[in-house]
Amino acid sequence: MKLYDKHILPYLTHKICSLSPATKQRQKIVPFAEGKILEIGIGSGLNLPHYDRDKVAHIWGLDPSIEMWARSEITNGELPFPFEFLSASAEQIPLGTNSVDSIVITYTLCSIPNVHAALLEMRRVLKPGGKLFFSEHGTAPETHIRTLQNVLNPIWNIFSGGCQLNRNIPELLKESGFSFEKLDSMYIPGWKFASYNYWGVAK
């Protein structure tokens, strides 16, 4: 699986996450992030074009996969704001406590191994009054779709970089001490078992 994980999976992930439905979801949250921003799971940098340059002081893009970041079509010199790539996991964020104003996370909570530890780390680095902007796929509202998600999940996550189909995104955030300023959910175009999306703002 090493060849697949290092070369094929980054290519597939970049292509799938570049599709129009996911791009439209990014546009609903990314432009509202401001100040010193930490993006969790920056991947190949697909969120970078959607930030509002007038609101950004600095962006740290965190991702454990250097192979994914190598897929980025954007270089630091092309960005209209200071940017730094952090090769690290979300469970151990290499930033100080209360050091960021906004956190952005899109289509990443599904694949973090210890998601509770990662969310506690996000709370640690987020300043008092700071906000978490998120768009994620997760557990569906209908029983028959949830059953399908549970059946497919063991095989799905082997070939999708650890992606879990059935994580309850609102519950995970609430269990980690976040409250919602805004929360929306709906299906976006795609396979129904993988396309129920949650997005909004938490603090």
> Is 60 exceeded by the pLDDT of residue 1?
no
Helices first, then strands: H and E counts in the chain: 7, 7
User: Cβ(48)–Cβ(74) under 8 Å?
Assistant: yes
Residue range 5-30, pLDDT digits in tens: 776 888 788 888 888 999 999 999 99
Contacts of residues 51-56 at CB distance under 8 Å and 24 or more positions apart, as own/partner, are: 51/81, 53/80, 53/81, 55/31, 56/80, 56/81
Residue ranges and CATH numbers for the domains of the chain are 2-202 (3.40.50.150)
> Is 70 exceeded by the pLDDT of residue 125?
yes
Q: How far apart are CA 144 and CA 124, in angstroms?
A: 37
* pLDDT at residue 72, rounded to an integer: 81
The pTM of the full predicted model, rounded to 2 decimals, is 0.94
Q: What is the percentage of the chain residues whose pLDDT exceeds 90?
A: 82
Structure tokens at 176: 């980690």
pLDDT-derived band at 75 (thresholds 50, 70, 90) equals low
* pLDDT at residue 70, rounded to an integer: 85
